[in-house]
Structure 1
Amino acid sequence: MPLDATSVGQRVVVRYAVGGTGPSGGPAMSDVIGRVRAVDAAAVTLERRDGRTQVVALADVVTWKPVPDRPLRRRRAGDVDPADLTRITSRGWPAIESVALGDWELRTSGRFTGRANSVAVHGDPGLPFGDALDRVRAFYASHDSPALAQVVVGSSGERAFAGAGWIPMTGYHGGAVVLVADLDPAYDADPDARIAATADDDWLVNYGRVNDPVAARAVLEGPDTVGFVSIGTPAVAIGRVVVTGEWAGIACVEVSPEHRRQGLARRIVETSLAWAVEHGADKAYLQTMRSNHAALALYKPYGFADHHDYRYLEPGSTDSAQ
């Protein structure tokens, strides 16, 4: 049976030719496992477990077959490396413009949120560190935006930036704690909750961090598999859930002040987790402030636990380039 549009949504393993000669003397081949996101006349696009996509030319496909949605063995959420989780969270909150600098990711999105307007520091930039900093400064200067670095607290990246004179961002909350959880097979979706593929005006007005709706929508609606959850008409509670590979991201849970302490946030979260499992996720992450005790209490019953903290750094007065 050929790979075609009927395969979209299935989790499959594809064996394909990579060119050259393999160890046995025959054609060299490789395997990739992922969920089929698109198929056209030339290629198949697969989404891997960490949310990365891989395109394989149909002419190179040797064989393929479906695989179970839920493997008997799986990597637990708490076992993922902070650098890998940073890459995963970036895919769930994608910048309007993203440029690779080695393993680093230069992100800009009209200043809508720090996550989409900072360099994600993980791995090796592929250049001497001082040269990489020059590239970071030049990138943000060309976009008329302040240079900002998102670093994992306690990481070698944080130490390197601090050694170059970068300091915690001033006039801002400065970062967040990332929580993760392994998902249960089933959650109770609220029958009164609506889940849309786009952020309409009713949803967006409840999310208090929007200055530029165009930039906000470009980031929020960027992933292929994203849902905007709301309760009430007009909406009095909202949330956003995204699935990239086996990971779900929960964000933007907001309840209007006059409707708080009625369980609406819990209903949004429960519905979001049910949607995530339905769309293939078995792990989830979220980001919040350590000072947000109400949010920490909200997510604790669902098994969310600390994974790592990150913070934003900006060039200081002793920045090595100044």
Structure 2
Amino acid sequence: MTLDAASVGHRIVVRYAVGGTGPSGGPAMSDVIGRVRAVDGTAVTLERRDGRTQVVALADVVTWKPVSERPLRRRRARDVDPEELTRITSRGWPAIESVALGEWELRTSGRFTGRANSVAVHGDPGLPFGEALDRVLEFYASHDAPALAQVVVGSAHERAFMDAGWVPMSGYHGGAVVQVADLDPAYDADPAARIAPTADDDWLANYGRVNDPVVARAVLEGPSTVGFVSIGTPAIAIGRIVVTGEWAGIAGVEVAPEHRRQGLARRIVETSLAWAVERGADKAYLQTMRTNHAALALYQPYGFVDHHDYRYLEPGPTDSAQ
């Protein structure tokens, strides 16, 4: 079989040479399983189950074959580590500029949402903690933006930041609860719902958090597999659904005030999850405020349960940068 454009969208396993000598004395090889996102004359790009992409040179491919679209064995959503899930959710809401600091991710996006304008704190920054904080402050100062850290509530990272004088972000709700669910094989997509690959002006008008449409679109449309769901012309209900690997992320479910309590939000959610399952997702996450009782009630019938909370920290008033 030829590994070409016809393979795009399918899950495959690739065995490829990595250079050197393997344990048996032959060439050293490795395997990778993922969904084909692109193939050109030199390489294949695979999206792994956690949403990471891996590029394999075609010259290194030894063999490949299709694999099941829905593996028989899968991790439960609630069993995924909070730091790993933070990485996954970040891929679903990618910043315009993202710079690695060890395993931390420095993100900036013209101040459109906290998630795209804070350092995602997970793993090891690759520097002593104090030096890492200095790098964070320097990064945001160079972008004329406030320094923010997104930390898992109750984590060692949260304690380390607060011990260094960082405090909960002022004048803001401060974070969110992350909920997760294992997805069913099928959902009832609404035939009246439309799903577009981009956020048009009508969709953005209903989203209501947009100061700069160019910046907002750069973040919202960033992932390779994202859908903007709407019902009505002009739209009276919207939602955003993204798939990165095995995960779907649902966000931006909004209904015009005069059309609420008519089941429109449920129709947006059902359609979104159906779209995600068709594209290989078997787990989903969402991020919302603990005080948003309407949203929590909307998602509860779909099996969403609390995974962890995160919040934003900022340098305290006695920090040397103040």
TM-score, scaled relative to structure 2: 0.99
1: CA distance between counterparts of 2:146 and 2:109? Answer: 12
Q: Which runs of structure 2 are paired with 1:124-163 in the superposition (5 Å)?
A: 124-163=124-163
Q: Where does residue 28 of structure 1 map in the other structure?
A: 28
1: CA distance between counterparts of 2:63 and 2:217? Answer: 39
**Alignment pair present for 1:200 and 2:238:** no
Q: Deviations over 1:264-284 (max 9, x none)?
A: 001000100000001110000
Q: Where does residue 103 of structure 1 map in the other structure?
A: 103
After TM superposition, give the deviation of residue 317 of structure 1 in Å: 1.5
Percent of aligned pairs sharing the same letter: 89
Task: Please tell me whether the aligned partners of residues 166 and 318 of structure 1 are also in contact (alpha carbons under 8 angstroms).
Answer: no
**Alignment pair present for 1:302 and 2:267:** no
After TM superposition, give the deviation of residue 2 of structure 1 in Å: 1.8
Q: Which one-letter code corresponds to 2:308 in the other structure? A: H
Q: Where does residue 122 of structure 2 map in the other structure?
A: 122
SS across alignment from 1:37: strand
Q: Deviations over 1:7-66 (max 9, x none)?
A: 111100000000111111111100000000000000000000000000000000000000
Q: Where does residue 185 of structure 2 map in the other structure?
A: 185
Q: Where does residue 247 of structure 1 map in the other structure?
A: 247
Report the RMSD for the aligned CA atoms in angstroms. 0.7
Q: Where does residue 56 of structure 2 map in the other structure?
A: 56
After TM superposition, give the deviation of residue 320 of structure 1 in Å: 5.7
Q: Which one-letter code corresponds to 2:82 in the other structure? A: P
Q: Which one-letter code corresponds to 2:57 in the other structure? A: A
Q: Which one-letter code corresponds to 2:112 in the other structure? A: F
Q: Where does residue 166 of structure 2 map in the other structure?
A: 166
After TM superposition, give the deviation of residue 319 of structure 1 in Å: 2.5
Count of matched residue positions in the alignment of Structure 1 and Structure 2: 322
Q: Which runs of structure 2 are paired with 1:25-104 in the superposition (5 Å)?
A: 25-104=25-104
Gaps of 5+ in 2: none
Task: Please tell me whether the aligned partners of residues 94 and 222 of structure 1 are also in contact (alpha carbons under 8 angstroms).
Answer: yes
1: CA distance between counterparts of 2:271 and 2:318? Answer: 48
Q: Where does residue 287 of structure 2 map in the other structure?
A: 287
Q: Which one-letter code corresponds to 2:11 in the other structure? A: R
Task: Please tell me whether the aligned partners of residues 165 and 320 of structure 1 are also in contact (alpha carbons under 8 angstroms).
Answer: no
Moved over 6 A (4+): none
2: CA distance between counterparts of 1:143 and 1:318? Answer: 22
TM-score, scaled relative to structure 1: 0.99
Q: Which one-letter code corresponds to 1:293 in the other structure? A: H
Q: Where does residue 271 of structure 2 map in the other structure?
A: 271
2: CA distance between counterparts of 1:71 and 1:121? Answer: 31
Task: Please tell me whether the aligned partners of residues 137 and 321 of structure 2 are also in contact (alpha carbons under 8 angstroms).
Answer: no
